[in-house]
Amino acid sequence: MPSTAAASDARRATQNGRDEVTELSRALRSLSARPSNDSRANADRRALFRRVNALVTSGVDCASLFPDVVVNAHASDPGCKKMIYGFITRHARRNGELAILTVNALQKDSGDRDSTIRGLAIRSLASLGVKDLLEYSVTAVERGLDDDEAYPRATAAMGALKIYDVDAKTVRESEILEKLRKMLVSDTEEVVVGNCLIVLKEIDGAESLATKPIVYALINRIKSFSEWNQVLILDLVARYKIENADETFDIMNALESRLAVPNSAIVLGTVKVFLTATLEMPDIHQQVLERIKAPLFTLANSGMAETSYAVWAHLRLLVRRAPVLFATDYKSFYFRMSDSSAVKNLKLAMLVAVADAQNTYDIVTEITEYATDTDECIAAASVRAVGDIALKAADELEGIVDRLLQYFDLDIEHVTAETVLAVADIVRKRPAHATQCVEAMKNIDLYDVQEPSARATLIWFYGEYGEHIPMAPYFVEPVLTNMVNESDPKVRAQLLTCAMKLFFKRPPETQAMLGAALAACVRDANQEVRDLANTYYRLLQKDVCAAERVVNSRDDSPIYTFKETMAEDKVFDKVFAEFNTLSVLYGRPAETFIDPEAAARRRARTIQDEDEIDDVKRDEEEKEQQDMGGASLLDHADMIDFGDEEKASTPTSRSGSAADLLSLLEIDVPPQASTTSTLALDPAPALDPASFQSKWTSASLVASGLQATLRSVSVSGATQITAHLTSKGIATMASGGPPDAMKFFFYAVDASVRDIFLVEAMVDARARGSTFTIKCDGRGSNFVAFQRLFADALASVP
């Protein structure tokens, strides 16, 4: 995307930005001496800050203006104040010493007559984030909590959390938390209570707040809270352990009105409360589901597309949970022109879920219309949906299978491809339909289908039902002879298997084909395809009859549930427990995308604000510790050897047996290609620290906890090691530390395939030990070889 023109534009913009920063710096300094209430000076300041703001927004680093801004901190105009304080709080962390200059002005303002100014000062003081200035922040917050007006009180409450995140101990030792706990139930202003709730929820955890007095106090006045605080309260109520049925009804009555609001977050929050409260009461639970249907449908069809998508995703979850309840609402899931693709996908899933004996005909008729959708993914998904309905329907199956097979008549490529996949599932699950399906498919040529998984499936059909598809060998043959053009290994493997199957079914037609397939596959670039080819060779060599039994065994016992479906069911239960969270939108539980430690770690990093390479180091230190913790029982040095051995030795033994068989089939044996090609490193690799860092985090191939022993006893410093490694083509990104705990970041580039290897190594010269982690950015064909090379290089440091 970034073209060179754009890049040069960006450079020019940055240069202009720098010039402007210099100019602004001069202008701001010239205003610093002007008195605080000089209205003209304040107007000038406002204008200057408007420009600073524009620069910051466009990505220019304005941190250097900090001293110039600080000297203007005395301005009395509220507009000026906001801009100045805003700037200071955003940059204070890096300018701790200078920030103290503003404390005076901020403190003065925290006693201002105007509550807006007081609030602003408290907010700014609490946001400074400088450890040395925390005492001022704490004082301001403590004072702010006693303010007569709501705005400063609410700001102060939030300030407590900001301070807590910088230094938890200070807040725990003060009386702030105790005060917040009191205010949570007693403060008269909802904005203040709302912020107390936010802060205590983060510090104490939501569970400890979900007590009867707090929950009741909040529910009783829930309508007076802002919408966002209502969402927080509902979340808290959902965590509250209800004692008995009466209490359940009381809470539900109190919250019933929250179902008729236009804010989807409140409605979904309420729904969660209702559903969790009635989990133990199946009858009431059903009634709840009935009750929440109408408001959810209203929300799904009103408001913004984005919020309605979230509601559809939740409806999808509920439909899945209680499909019977939604069976009569199936028309609500029909497509609309205005639906986004994401919503259409959800609707298809719901249509499949609610399909029952009564509505299946209507639903399938409707879905059939979607096959011509302009979005090919939706068209394909609609075909899949019909297939899924056919799979799940108990009776009247023929009708649906017929409809499915009619898709072949449409002659639209992606529809045909998806139909092949759907039909394969039906044949697998219900072998009784095989005849009908094979009959319909016997004229589908491989030219009709391009999508790899559909091609593979179609080839499977040709092999599996080769006796019923007269053209099968002739469909396969032209593709087989051009196997190199087939990019997906799955398809190549399937071609080979198909040739095997056909060989036993129709030997005269296919003997030559099988020979060609085997010859091509032992040379295949893909390990699995090669393995498969070698297996078949050996089978054929050993016992042809046994080979037939293995290859052409068909298990006609029906499949009741596909493995995928069972896995989905497990996920679904977890997701339901996380109702009204992102999990529902993603369709997977939080553990798959939320890493609580990572967030905490990153936060800690920002506060200390170190330079980039240090960040990498520390992140890695932490990561390494984790890695080490998990893998400490394994001997990693052994693992390298094992990997090598496997790669190096197996092919030779394999090619031996393969060669014998090939001669049987009168085919030339290809020289066995070496799987581990020789690794040559670029003698002068180039990588800048920023890309090192990004590649380090993005690299998918990781080998950690590797070890090597230094042979030399005379290693005394980092330079000795780096010099040696440079001679081997391994460049150094960073190095340092005392001889008994040296730390390095190396990198190297594979000269042929241009893979980049990244290394983090800890070397203890005295104990002659080293531990290192290697990552690879690229396809990693020489990853193992590099690990060995690096270990050797390190061990051989003179």
Partner 1 sequence: MLISQFFILGPRGDALAHRDFRGDVPSTSREDFYRSTRFWSSNERSSVRSNRTTKTNASPPPAFERDGVNYLHVKASGLYFVATTTSNGSPSAVLELLGRLARLVKDYCGALTEDAVRKNSTLVSEVIDEAMDYGYAQTTSTEMLRERVCSEPVETGDDLAGVLVSAKADGARAVAQGAFKAGQKVEAVLKHNLGVKVNFPTKAAINLMNAASVASGVNRVSSSATQKSVVSASSATTRDEIFVDIIEKLNVTFSANGDVVTSEINGHIQVRNFLQGAGTKVKMALSEDLTIGGKGTSARGNYAGVILDDCNFHESAKLEQFDVDRTITLRPPQGEFSLMNYRSAGNFKPPFKVIAIFDESVPYKVGVELKLFADFPSKHTCTGLIVNLPIPKGALGATGRLPKSVPSGSQHVMFDAAEKQIVWQFKKFAGGSDHECSVQIALQSERIPNVRREIGPLSLSFQIPTFCASALAVRYLQVVGNRPLDPLDDEAPPRAPHRWIRYLTKSSSYVVRV
Considering only residues 723 through 762, tell me which ones interact with partner 1, judged by CB under 8 A: none
Q: Which of 227, 398, 610, 660 binds partner 1 (CB under 8 A)?
A: 227
CA dist 548 → 49, 168, 503, 554 (Å): 82, 71, 9, 11
Terminal Cα-to-Cα distance of the chain (whole angstroms): 47
Cβ(102)–Cβ(91) below 8 Å: no
Distance of CA 754 to the CA centre of its chain: 27
226 lies in the binding site for partner 1 (CB under 8 A): yes
Candidates 375-383, 498-506, 628-636, 785-793; binding stretch for partner 1 (CB under 8 A): 375-383
Place of tokens 């102060």: 156
Which span sits near partner 1 by CB under 8 A: 243-251, 274-282, 445-453, 718-726? Answer: 445-453
Q: Rounded to the nearest whole angstrom, what is the least distance from the CB of residue 29 to partner 1 in the complex?
A: 21
Contact (Cβ atoms closer than 8 angstroms) between residue 232 and residue 198: yes
Q: Taking contact as CB under 8 A, which single stretch among the options 43-51, 105-113, 136-144, 640-648 is the one that binds partner 1?
A: 43-51
Pairing of strands 701-709, 769-777: antiparallel
Measured from the CB atom, the residue of 207 and 467 that comes closer to partner 1 is 207
Q: Which is nearer to partner 1, 308 or 497 (CB)?
A: 308
Stretch of 131-139, 292-300, 428-436, 501-509 contacting partner 1, by CB under 8 A? 292-300
Is 602 one of the binding residues for partner 1 (CB under 8 A)?
A: yes
Nearest approach, Cβ of 350 to partner 1 (angstroms)?
14
**Residue 465 burial (CB count, 10 A):** 21
Stretch that binds partner 1, among 277-285, 308-316, 517-525, 676-684 (CB under 8 A): 308-316
Residue 558 identity: P
CA distance linking residue 619 with residue 687, whole number of Å: 20
Query: Which C-beta is closer to partner 1: that of 292 or that of 500?
Result: 292
The residue from 20, 29, 64, 79 that contacts partner 1 (CB under 8 A) is: 79
Stretch that binds partner 1, among 222-230, 351-359, 509-517, 658-666 (CB under 8 A): 222-230
Number of helices (H), then strands (E), belonging to the chain: the values are 38, 5
Q: What angle do CA 67, 73, 79 make, to 5 degrees?
A: 125
User: 555 is written with which tokens?
Assistant: 């298990």
Say whether residue 374 binds partner 1 (CB under 8 A).
yes
Q: Which of 369, 569, 612, 660 binds partner 1 (CB under 8 A)?
A: 369
DSSP H or E run through 616: helix 612-631
Mark the segment that binds partner 1 (CB under 8 A) among 505-513, 574-582, 724-732, 763-771: 574-582
Which residues contact residue 766 at a Cβ distance below 8 angstroms, ignoring those fewer than 6 apart? 739, 740
Check: CB of residue 386 under 8 Å from CB of residue 364. Answer: yes
Beta bridge partners of 744: 735, 761
Does position 453 interact with partner 1 (CB under 8 A)? The reply is yes
Size, binding site for partner 1 by CB under 8 A: 112
* Of the candidate residues 452, 643, 689, 769, the single one contacting partner 1 (CB under 8 A): 452
Cβ pair 388, 352 in contact under 8 A = yes
**CB contact at 8 A, 618 and 482:** no
Q: By C-beta, is 297 or 576 nearer to partner 1?
A: 297
Among residues 21, 28, 84, 86, which is the contact residue for partner 1, using CB under 8 A? 86
Determine the Cα–Cα distance for residues 429 and 443; give it in Å rounded to an integer.
Answer: 23
Contact between 322 and 289 under an 8 Å Cβ cutoff? The reply is yes
Q: What does the block give as tokens for 325?
A: 């309840």
Which residue from 22, 58, 482, 626 is in contact with partner 1, where contact means CB under 8 A? Answer: 58
Structure-token pair, residue 424: 């394969």
Which residue in the set 302, 625, 709, 719 belongs to the binding site for partner 1 (CB under 8 A)? 302
Q: Does 216 bind partner 1 (CB under 8 A)?
A: no
Collapsed DSSP state (helix, strand, coil) of residue 50: helix
Closest contact distance (angstroms) between CB of 304 and partner 1 is: 5
- Phi then psi dihedrals of residue 716, to 5 deg: -125, -10
Contact with partner 1 (CB under 8 A) among 8, 12, 43, 59: 59
When the beta carbons of 380 and 426 are compared against partner 1, the nearer one is 380
- The token duo for 111 is 């006693």
| 451 closest CA partner among 506, 497, 490, 395 | 490
| Torsion over CA: 776, 777, 780, 782 (sign) | negative
CB of 397 to partner 1, least distance (A): 22
Give yes or no for residue 553 binding partner 1 (CB under 8 A).
Answer: no
Alpha carbon distance 166, 134 (integer Å): 9
Q: Is 619 in the site for partner 1 (CB under 8 A)?
A: no
Q: Binding segment for partner 1 among 31-39, 600-608, 648-656, 750-758 (CB under 8 A)?
A: 600-608
Q: By CB under 8 A, which span of 102-110, 601-609, 700-708, 710-718 interacts with partner 1?
A: 601-609
614 binds partner 1 (CB under 8 A): no
User: Nearest approach, Cβ of 784 to partner 1 (angstroms)?
Assistant: 26
What residues between 146 and 185 interact with partner 1 by CB under 8 A? Answer: 151, 154-155, 158, 161-162
207 binding partner 1? (CB under 8 A): no
Among 33, 63, 324, 594, binds partner 1 (CB under 8 A): 594
What does the alpha-carbon distance between residue 249 and residue 278 come to, in Å, rounded to a whole number? 9
Selected from 17, 144, 152, 269, the binder of partner 1 by CB under 8 A is 269
The CA distance from 307 to 761, in Å, is 48
